[in-house]
A and B are shown apart, each in its own frame.
Chain A
Amino acid sequence: MKLFKLAAVLLLIALPARAEIEIQTVTSPGGITAWLAEEPGIPFTALEIRFRGGTALDAPGKRGAVNLMTALIEEGTGDLDSVGFARARDDLAASFSFRADEDTLAVSARFLTENRDQAVDLLRRALTEPRFDQQALDRVRGQVLAGLRQDAKDPGTLASRQFRALAFGAHPYASSGDGTEETVSALTRDDMIAAHRAAIARDRVYVAAAGDISAQELGALLDTLFAGLPATGAALPDRAPMDLSGGITVQNFPGPQATVIFGHQGIKRDDPDFFAATILNEILGGGRFSARLMSEVREKRGLTYGIGTYLLGYDQAELVMGQFSSANATVGQAIEVIREEWRKIAADGVTEAELANTKTYLTGSYPLRFDGNGPIASMLVGMQMIGLTPDYPKTRNAKVEAVTMDDVRRVAARLFREADLRFVVVGQPEGVTATD
Chain B
Amino acid sequence: MLRNAIVLCFLAATPALAEEVTSFELGNGMDVVVIEDHRAPVVTHMVWYRTGAADEPPGQSGIAHFLEHLMFKGTDTLAPGEFSATVEAQGGNDNAFTSWDYTAYFQRVAADRLDLMMQLEADRMRNLQLSEEDIATERAVIIEERKQRTDSSPGALLQEQMRAAQFLNHPYGIPIIGWKHEMEQLDRQAALDHYVRFYAPNNAILVVAGDVEPEAVRAMAERHYGPIAPSNAITDRIRPAEPPQIAERRLTLRDERVSEPYVTRTYLAPERDSGDQSKAAALSILAALLGGSGQTSLFAQGLQFGEAPVAVFSSAYYDGTGLDDGTFGVFVVPMPGVDLAQAEAAMDKVIADFIETGPDPDDFARIKTQIRAEQIYARDNVDGLARRYGEALAVGLTVQDVQDWPAILDAVTPEDVQQAAREVLDRRRAVTGWLMPAAEEVTP
Contact = CB atoms under 8 A, between A and B. Distances in A.
A297 to B, nearest CB: 10
A88 interface: yes
A150 B42 contact: no
Contacts of A51: none
A245 interface: no
A141 to B, nearest CB: 10
A2 B144 contact: no
A365 to B, nearest CB: 5
Interface in A184-234: 211
Contacts of A295: 81
A433 interface: no
Given A87-B362, A146-B333, A305-B145, A368 B380 contact: no
Contacts of B336: 142
Given A139-B304, A302-B139, A2 B38 contact: yes
Contacts of B84: 288-290
Given A6-B112, A83-B296, A87-B366, A365 B92 contact: yes
B148 A305 contact: yes
Interface of A is mostly: mixed
A305 B3 CA distance: 51
Interface stretch (A36-44, A262-270, A413-421): A36-44
B312 interface: yes
Interface residues of B, number: 78
A373 B139 CA distance: 40
Contacts of B369: 90-91, 93
B89 A357 contact: yes
Interface in B161-197: none
A44 B376 contact: yes
B147 interface: yes
A91 B147 CA distance: 44
Given A3-B39, A83-B301, A257-B152, A303 B144 contact: yes
A404 interface: no
Interface centre among A90, A211, A373 (most CB of B within 10 A): A90
B134 to A, nearest CB: 10
Contacts of B14: 43, 114
B259 A153 contact: yes
A4 B40 CA distance: 6
A365 B93 contact: yes
B109 A149 contact: no
Given A86-B296, A254-B256, A371-B42, A357 B88 contact: yes
B165 to A, nearest CB: 23
Interface string A293-315: 00100111111110000000000
Interface in B289-340: 293-296, 301, 304-305, 309, 312-313, 333, 335-336
B196 to A, nearest CB: 25
Contacts of B301: 83
Interface stretch (B4-12, B124-132, B215-223, B424-432): B4-12
Contacts of B413: none
A132 interface: no
A374 interface: yes
Contacts of B373: 93, 112
Given A4-B40, A83-B295, A368-B91, A150 B147 contact: no
A371 B40 contact: yes
A67 to B, nearest CB: 16
B3 A91 contact: yes
B89 A149 contact: no
19 contacts: A8-B112, A9-B110, A42-B17, A43-B14, A43-B17, A82-B305, A86-B294, A90-B293, A91-B6, A91-B7, A93-B11, A112-B10, A142-B335, A146-B333, A211-B380, A290-B85, A302-B139, A302-B141, A327-B147
Nearest to A151: B259
Interface in A1-58: 1-6, 8-10, 17, 39, 41-44, 46
Given A82-B305, A114-B13, A365-B93, 4 more contacts: A2-B40, A2-B41, A42-B380, A114-B10
A215 B226 CA distance: 48
B10 A370 contact: no
B372 interface: yes
A162 interface: no
B258 interface: yes
B3 A87 contact: yes
Contacts of A288: 84, 88
Contacts of A298: 141
Contacts of B144: 257, 302-305, 325-327
B382 interface: yes
Interface string A118-141: 000000000000000001000100
B388 to A, nearest CB: 15
A169 interface: no
A357 B312 CA distance: 49
Given A9-B110, A153-B259, A256-B151, A365 B293 contact: no
A255 interface: yes
Contacts of B309: 139
Nearest to A325: B148
A17 B42 CA distance: 12
A176 interface: no
Contacts of B148: 257, 305, 325
Contacts of A143: 312-313
